[in-house]
Structure 1
Amino acid sequence: MKLNLYLLIIAVFSVVSTLAKKTTKLYSFEPTKHNVKILGRANYQNGYLWFGLTDTGIEYTFYGKTTVINVTADTKAYSEESPAHIAIYADGKIYEKTLINQKNTDFTVKFNRKGKHTVTFIKISEAEQGSLRINKIKADVKKIIPTPPNKKKIEFIGDSITCAYGVDGKETDTYSTATQDGTKSYAYLTAKKFNADYSIVAYSGYAILSAVSFDGERNPNTALPPYYDKLGLTFGSEFFSLGNNEFDDGTYELQSTTWKGYKKYNPDLIVINLGTNDSFYFFTIDPSKVEAETEVFVKKYEEFLTKLRRKYPRTEILCTYGIMGQYITADIEKAINNYIAKTGDKRVHTYIFNEQNAEKNGMGADTHPNAQSQLDSAHELINEIERLYGWKADKKVNIDKLI
């Protein structure tokens, strides 16, 4: 009897010890700049980090094995129609790509061994379809640290091409956040090749002056420059109507939140890729209006360059166009030449991309560039940046493997 009791005690102790070993204590951290590197435009408020733009998120290093990122999606970002698309990288390799399907989610990253590890969490769909916030980060160590800043910084300003709209889709597909993947955008790939920090300010359907017209009139809500100063923008129930970002504890508007990070994020280079939707606008209005509206477009482009120069006195600006058609190349070049002639600004240049090669590569959703065409454009842009500015791309970074 005593022997049996003794064996029972030993067995219970063994089970308790095993459970104790399996239970890992996790320490909690706020998503502040002291704990994580913030990628792209994000706003820390009320204890959480809020963001929506393509490829925005966080990155951090810790000396442990397990970490958990607690994320809340706004009502649009976990909707069945347009769930946010996210990517998690573990030590530089893709760990998970998924669509948000609930309001609150714990994303757990477990490494095989305890040691120094880097975790990256980014939203790879665009802000038009909702925003996310990171509430807490947990790890099995008492400290997490931001990854260091890179030597170069690039900001990309664009439309659906820059958002990687439909990059994983087929030509016959229509809009879906599931086929958006900002890590396959020429912008992201270019930044990676130069080991540069990036900020992507891009919205599908947006323009310098106006996107496609459904009633023959200009649609001022589709001009990007007025929203450049904002944290982002999100659509409402109708296309191109602006909406709220609704969370349980309040309703916010990306487009009502001013971006205040200009001084902290002062890019070495800004790449503008706008004009494609303006060309569609010109196609959908009365031909008698095109000449006058084109002049307004030229003026608005000049004004946008002036606005950027005021914010960034020494930043190089590269104005690009052409991946989905080169219909208004002459008008874009006119705007840039006018600006340079008026200001003497020697830090503004133009580059016209080759059109996507649909015959060779096929197309993504709604005839947008697929992954191969995005990669082709990235290689073009990388070569042009090297030529214009003397930057050196990292030969060890093989962006062909990133798509």
Structure 2
Amino acid sequence: MKYFIGILLLFVGHMLHAQERFVSAGHEAFYYSGRVDLSQSDVARFDWPGVSVNFQFTGETLDLCLNGGERNYFNVFIDGLLHEVMHVPADTVYPVRGINGQGWHSCRIQKRTEGEMGMVVFKGVHLEKEAQIRSVEHQQWRKIEFIGNSITCGYGTEGKLPEEDFLPETENINKSYAFIAARAFKAECYVTAHSGLGVVRNYGDKEPISTKLATLPNRYHQVFDMDTSLAWDFSQWQPDAVVINLGTNDYSTDVAPEKSVFVQRYLRFIKQLRDCYGDIPVFCVNGPMRDEPAYSNVKEVVEIARSVYGDKHIYFIGIPASLLNKSSDLGSDYHPSYRGQLKMARHIIPTIANVMNWEFDDSEYEALSY
């Protein structure tokens, strides 16, 4: 009897599989936004926050094939709307249900969490047997890269109280100021950010210069945040502008780098960006979790770059700590909540718009009250 049931299950599984169409991760229909390794043609690997898989398909059935890792979470958007938050702790086939309509649908799978939460291996999708798949229609012609730490990662944006300890499920890069600003400008957004990292010194380091754990500039050239094995090819994607928000962790505790060391290392990182991207606008942001001396030191970096090195396309944007209301604008571990991130975005968007001569849509935060 058990033998018969086993044969029956194998037969049913075969029949169900025969009614599906598998499309592997290397198919031309998949558009990957963010740093992704496609060296193995049948899988896509990535770990930076905000990396997304984008495509269009027909039918009402969609199964995602991936290994998301125990601590990663994903936003799944169907037809431009958040459909669900996905957690795929092991290698599996994840069914997306409740898709209505037989016409073309768009899908975006976005990594909510940062690199420290683990590597993602995306293998492809199962569609209905007669379904079609194609690449998304690109309406975003602007490109912005955001470089930063936990603030940029959207750390704790969905936490209810500042006293809450951080949990991976409360981190949502889509609610960080980076993606809010990108949406306002209708721009594609790459994020290279990692919680706790600085320019010279990482959070909690007992030494003024971190050596045990790589700082953000020291891992910036990598395809992966947490894996040093592959170097990123910067010719693959060239932004129109770069926004940097670093310095908070350098001055997070009493042990801090000398001002001269911080300034020189930051200037060295600017040169690194210039080597990668040329003379595009770079916006150096400070705040809102740390004020002085980070505020003045980042501003001095910009002034030296302009006056000493003749860099006329570098700009300072200071976000004061007083911008955030402690009773309404903070999420987990006293980081900006979504409301706090909206305030940050509203603070930086006009400066970027003025420099870039870009119009913007402020509808996401226009009703925000202080």
Q: Same fold (TM over 0.5)?
A: yes
Q: 1:185 aligns with which of 160, 166, 176?
A: 176
SS of the residue 2:299 aligns to = helix
Aligned residue number for residue 274 of structure 2:
309
SS of the residue 2:60 aligns to = strand
Structure 2 counterparts to residues 4-403 of structure 1, below 5 A: 25-32=19-26, 34-46=28-40, 47-73=42-68, 77-78=69-70, 83-140=71-128, 141-149=130-138, 150-169=140-159, 170-220=161-211, 221-234=213-226, 254-260=227-233, 262-281=234-253, 283-284=254-255, 293-327=258-292, 328-355=294-321, 356-359=323-326, 361-394=328-361, 398=364
- Code of the residue aligned with 2:250 in structure 1: it is D
How far apart, CA to CA, are the structure 2 residues paired with 1:400 and 1:64?
Answer: 36
- Code of the residue aligned with 2:320 in structure 1: it is N
Aligned residue number for residue 7 of structure 2:
none
Q: 1:360: how far off?
A: 5.1
Tell whether the 8 Å contact from 1:55 to 1:123 is kept in structure 2 after alignment. Answer: yes
Cα gap change, 1:26/1:314 in structure 2, threshold over 3 Å: closer, same or farther?
farther
- Code of the residue aligned with 2:183 in structure 1: it is K
Tell whether the 8 Å contact from 1:155 to 1:271 is kept in structure 2 after alignment. Answer: yes
Q: Which runs of 5+ in 1 are unaligned?
A: 1-21, 235-253
Tell whether the 8 Å contact from 1:37 to 1:148 is kept in structure 2 after alignment. Answer: no
Moved over 6 A (4+): none
Give a deviation string over 1:73-115, Cα, whole Å, max 9, x none: 3xxx31xxxx111110010111111333333242424421100
Cα gap change, 1:35/1:400 in structure 2, threshold over 3 Å: closer, same or farther?
farther
Give a deviation string over 1:138-193, Cα, whole Å, max 9, x none: 22245322213321001000000000111112211223211101111010111111
Q: 1:399: how far off?
A: 5.4
CA RMSD for the aligned pairs?
Answer: 2.2
Q: 1:120: how far off?
A: 0.6
Structure 1 window deviating more from structure 2 (202-211 vs 338-347): it is 338-347
How far apart, CA to CA, are the structure 1 residues paired with 2:268 and 2:205?
Answer: 26
SS of the residue 1:311 aligns to = helix
Q: 1:354: how far off?
A: 3.2
- Code of the residue aligned with 2:348 in structure 1: it is L
How far apart, CA to CA, are the structure 1 residues paired with 2:229 and 2:51?
Answer: 18
Q: TM-score, normalised by structure 1?
A: 0.80
Tell whether the 8 Å contact from 1:64 to 1:114 is kept in structure 2 after alignment. Answer: yes
Tell whether the 8 Å contact from 1:67 to 1:139 is kept in structure 2 after alignment. Answer: yes
How far apart, CA to CA, are the structure 2 residues paired with 1:177 and 1:400?
Answer: 29
Q: Which runs of 5+ in 2 are unaligned?
A: 1-15
SS of the residue 1:338 aligns to = helix
Cα gap change, 1:190/1:362 in structure 2, threshold over 3 Å: closer, same or farther?
closer
Q: TM-score, normalised by structure 2?
A: 0.87
